[in-house]
Amino acid sequence: MQERITINPKVMVGKPVIRGTRIPVGLILKMLGQGMTTEEILREYPRLERADIEAAITYAARMIEHEDVFPIPLQSEPVAA
């Protein structure tokens, strides 16, 4: 994955991108989330390879697995002052 994804503050304000491009990982994930297939993305961005899309998914999965979540309790009644 490291050979596919790069982070450089001078490229796309430091967002993770596919190495050698200005295509952000987030854009690839957004397209997948909107229902585009890998083949459609590859046609839209011919510089990409299937392994780039797979690396974007892997990168996102790794970021999420290290995310800390702190549940906020829901209040069903207003708190008295």
Amino acid at 61: A
pLDDT of residue 78: 63
Instruction: Note the pLDDT of residue 68.
Output: 82
Per-residue pLDDT of the chain (81 residues; tens, 9 = 90+): 678 999 999 999 999 999 999 999 999 999 999 999 999 999 999 999 999 999 999 999 999 988 788 888 887 666 566
CATH number of 5-65: 1.10.10.10
DSSP secondary structure, 26-64, as one string: HHHHHHHHTT--HHHHHHH-TT--HHHHHHHHHHHHHHH
Distances (CA, A) of 26 to 18, 44, 68: 10, 15, 20
What is the reported pLDDT for 15?
A: 95
CA angle 22/16/56 to nearest 5° reads 95
Domain limits, the chain: 5-65
